[in-house]
Chains A and B, each alone.
Chain A
């Protein structure tokens, strides 16, 4: 049985539609990441699952029970907030045990649950401190601990790493992945950072404007995006999206360059406006060769991102592995027809 089912869930604030019909089924133990640009509704959707935001229409089902109208604490969920939302006047142990205290769990049992969670998160020495005495990373662990103690059916994370510095973010990301493996619980995680989404998720839900653009495994979204938005959002640096024009059923013109796509199944009409997508990491191998002048180099040591242009209004980023290009150099790039993504005028993928 699925742990969470969203059935045509909608949310409006007055006349503004924030969530415009979301259907989603999440299996037990899955790690699902909601990702999208700010304002796409991902946090609102999470808060609707939590019961902190009313559902305008549609149903939310958790573990087979319709909880659309249920209070947050009756849903079998726990949430970790971006601001940690710890109670400043309580010690770490009291913070973590607060839900059990409200549920009138006896003190010894409560202490055992708190100590168990503290052990998992390695925060046992902090149990008697107040939140003000903790670092950001430690507070985040306490917030996660508070969720663990409740043994929820579903964990909800609302951008939990946004307030941490870069190094700590990577570290905590790995720990959350480890925690998911250890607990085997269902987790739903909201982020605007596609790297977090790619590294953590079993499945990614890409949202834009309150609509699900695509759902799939991280590699599926990377290898086979449904539309130009997902193609541009997933992957770093982002996919090059260039305007092109069809010249025949399987051929097109990009700037001064004529390309043929023999594997294309759909047929183009000559003169049709298209968007051609190609990832920076796919421009060095086989395929049609063309020269480009290097404008800017972002050198990362193991690799370098070269910024240039194929022509006016055709900026291109190329990943140059194993070479050390310099500004002003002429480099040869290769456009492999098998690695090109084609999108129509509305951004929908043409396969």
Chain B
């Protein structure tokens, strides 16, 4: 850790040769674990992505064939389109918990209760969440019954291509925003109350205190929540998709991780699935890179 954090000191050698050798010994278990369970599978996966393996027999090397096929694969394009839609909803994933956390922080009546209620779904498994919302959202479900009472026409929330993805995202939002809310609450509690009072004395009305002081001071946390949420929705929605829509109707709710599972487990094409995984990996590596940049930019704050 210290050598990567302080590159200018990397070349300074500490201790005798025997000590350094001993230090390597202590590093060995961690290095071995990372190599065995992270690096090797990654390289293996990359190798696999260059073959037409079917799972039953060793595949033939086909170069970048899988990647070329991806470009013309309508399922892959649908998954990417869905990913873009998902990323476009990101402001909601960040703003909703932030606004609710601010209200709780400002001390609305019953704030403690709201905090527990909002967080509660975060402890449910996605299969349970999916089962609950299956009851609510299916065509003869509770939501449509409610709409019926209000005299509104029923909508096939999960079965129609235009609503399925947004329904799915809403369910995931309901299930996970409690965690973001807690992160925001923790961030808000570190703001100095004297700073907010100073702003009031400087003449800031409530919304100005919010816009000029609280929001900028919360920026690192907003960025953190944005990145964590993005990675979360890209890697943790499988269970929900499986239970609620199975990627359908058509490809309306097929996200990359679901597609990987389809190709690997259902279509018996581990080679192609490995190529898809590589793309998802690259996508998330890009996000992680942005995350590291954001964090180092905020280090001086």
Contact = CB atoms under 8 A, between A and B. Distances in A.
Nearest to A143: B198
Interface stretch (B105-113, B164-172, B211-219): B211-219
B201 to A, nearest CB: 5
Contacts of A98: 199, 202, 204, 212
Interface in A60-104: 71-73, 77-79, 81-83, 85-90, 98-99, 102-103
B15 interface: no
Contacts of B208: 102
Interface stretch (B189-197, B237-245, B248-256, B269-277): B189-197
Contacts of A87: 195, 198-199, 212-213, 216-217
B300 interface: yes
A73 B202 contact: yes
Nearest to B219: A89
Contacts of A83: 192, 194-195
Given A83-B192, A89-B301, A130-B300, A99 B197 contact: no
Contact of B201 (A73, A89, A130): A73
A99 B216 contact: no
Contact of A88 (B194, B200, B203, B301): B301
A177 interface: no
A132 interface: yes
Nearest to B300: A132
B217 A89 contact: yes
A40 interface: no
Contact of B198 (A71, A81, A89, A132): A81
The B interface is mostly helix, strand or loop, or mixed, namely helix
Contacts of A81: 194, 197-198
Contacts of B300: 130, 132-133
Interface size class on chain B is 10 to 19
A197 interface: no
Given A87-B213, A89-B216, A102 B204 contact: yes
A270 interface: no
B201 A77 contact: yes
Interface string A110-147: 00000000000000000000101100000000000010
Contacts of B198: 79, 81, 85-87, 146
Contacts of B194: 81-83, 85
Contacts of A85: 192, 194-195, 197-198
B213 A72 contact: no
Contact of A99 (B195, B203, B213): B203
Interface size class on chain A is 20 to 34
A196 to B, nearest CB: 20
A294 interface: no
Nearest to A147: B201
A280 B212 CA distance: 54
Contacts of B212: 87, 98, 102
B203 to A, nearest CB: 4
Contacts of B203: 73, 99, 102-103
From B192, B197, B201, B300, residue with most partner A Cβ within 10 Å? B201
Contacts of B201: 50, 52, 72-73, 77-79, 99
A72 B301 contact: no
Contacts of B200: 52, 71-73
A99 B208 CA distance: 11
Contacts of A50: 201
A98 B196 CA distance: 13
Contacts of A86: 195, 198
Nearest to B215: A89
A73 B217 CA distance: 22
Contacts of B204: 73, 98, 102
Contacts of B199: 87, 98
From B192, B197, B200, B216, residue with most partner A Cβ within 10 Å? B197
Nearest to A150: B202
Contacts of A52: 197, 200-201
5 contacts: A52-B197, A72-B201, A81-B197, A82-B194, A102-B204
What are the 5 closest A-B residue pairs judged by CB atoms, nearest first? A73-B203, A99-B202, A85-B194, A85-B198, A89-B216
Interface of A: 50, 52, 71-73, 77-79, 81-83, 85-90, 98-99, 102-103, 130, 132-133, 146, 150
Given A73-B201, A87-B198, A89-B216, 11 more contacts: A73-B204, A77-B201, A81-B194, A81-B198, A85-B192, A87-B213, A88-B217, A90-B216, A98-B202, A99-B201, A99-B203
